[in-house]
Amino acid sequence: MGTRRVLVTGCSSGIGLAVAARLAKDELRRFKVVATMRDLGKRGPLEKAAGDSLNKTLEIKQLDACSESSIRECVNSLPDRRYDVKYSAVIVNNAGLGMIGPLECQSIDAMKELFDTNFFGLARLVKEVLPDMKRRQSGHIVVMSSVMGTQGLIFNDVYSASKFAVEGFCESLAVQALKFNIKTTLVEPGPVVTEFERKVYEDAESMDLSGTDKETAKIFREIYLPYSKKMFASLGQTPEEVAEQTVKVITDKEPPLRHQTNRLYMPMTALKHADPTGRLPLDSFYKMTFKHDKVFNATLAMLHLLKRIGGKK
C-alpha cells in the first residue's frame, strides 16, 4: 500500500482536527493530509496538534463547504488535482453545524444554513471529486455522520433531518460508486465531547423560548438539557477516540458502509431495527423521557461503569 493523500474538511477544531492530526502522525507514514477549514485564522489549534508533522505530512488549506468555487479552488491547487499518490484517494467530510431546541424557536434561515453546510456541503465536495475517482477507478468517501442519522432524538429535529439526508445520499450513491471501485463509509458517532458541542449547549441554556408554549419550554430546560448532560458524561467519546476509529475504517481493506464509533450507544439505535413499524423505539424513548427517569438514570450509570471498565482494558 502506497502513501495516500487524504483531504479532510472542518479541521479547525473537534473531530476534524483530531482526524487530520492522527493521520498526519501515523507511525507507518501512510498518509499525506490536506487539512481544510473555512477560516484560516483558526488554524492555530491544528498547527499545535500537528506538531512536527506540519508542512511534512500535513498541509493546511482554505475550503468553504458552502462554496463550490472554494472547493474547486482547493482541489485544483493539489498537484494534477491529485489527492491520491500511489493508491486510492480518500476524502473525509467532517464540516458541520449543530442545532437543538424547540422547532418553533428556530428560524427557517438558520435551518437552511445548517442544511447548506451539513448536507449540501457534502454534496458539493463529492460532486467535485467523484469524476476524478471514477476515472481512476479508486477512492474512499468517508462521511462524518451521526447516530442521529439513523435514530431521531427529541429537540434535535433539524440536525437529525440533515444527518438523515446525509445517510440517504451516501447509501444511494454507494451502489453506483461501488461499480467504479469507490468505497463509501458513514462514520456514526454518538455524543462526542468537543468545544463545538459545548458551544451548542451553552447557547441552548440561554435560548429565547418565548416562541413556544410554557410546557415545551419546561421540557426543554428541565428534562432535555439535564438528560443531555448526563448522556455526554456517561457515553461521551473524545474526538481522539472517534479519530482512531476513523483511521481503522480508512485502512480497512473492505470498509463498511456504516460504522458506529460508540458500542455503548448501539442498544439505543438497535431499537429501530427491532421493530420496522417504529412503535418500539418511539414508545421506548417516550417512556425514558417522560415516565421512567429513574430507569433512564440507572441505565446511564450502568453504561458509564461499563465505559470505565472498558477503558481500563
- Confirm whether residue 162 is marked as ligand binding: no
Residue with cell 451502489: 175
How far are the Cα atoms of 272, 275, 287 from residue 283, in angstroms, in the given order?
A: 11, 11, 6
- Confirm whether residue 35 is marked as ligand binding: yes
Active-site positions? 159
- Confirm whether residue 124 is marked as ligand binding: no
- Confirm whether residue 146 is marked as ligand binding: yes
- Confirm whether residue 296 is marked as ligand binding: no
Radius of gyration of the chain (CA): 20
How many angstroms from the chain centroid is the CA of residue 90?
A: 16
CA trace torsion 132, 135, 136, 142 (10° rounding): 50
Residue with cell 439526508: 165
**Angle formed at CA 43 by CA 236 and CA 99, multiple of 5 degrees:** 45
CA trace torsion 267, 272, 278, 282 (10° rounding): 30
> Where are the strands (E) in the chain, listed by range?
4-8, 31-37, 58-62, 90-93, 139-144, 182-188, 258-260
- Confirm whether residue 31 is marked as ligand binding: yes
- Confirm whether residue 263 is marked as ligand binding: no
- Confirm whether residue 15 is marked as ligand binding: yes
- Confirm whether residue 64 is marked as ligand binding: yes
- Confirm whether residue 306 is marked as ligand binding: no
- Confirm whether residue 36 is marked as ligand binding: yes
- Give me the helix-helix angle, 108-118 and 120-136, nearest 10°: 20
C-alpha–C-alpha distance, residues 226 and 224, integer Å: 6
- Confirm whether residue 29 is marked as ligand binding: yes
- Confirm whether residue 10 is marked as ligand binding: yes
Known binding-site residue numbers: 10-38, 64, 146, 163
Known binding-site residue numbers for substrate: 146
Known binding-site residue numbers for NADP(+): 10-38, 64, 163
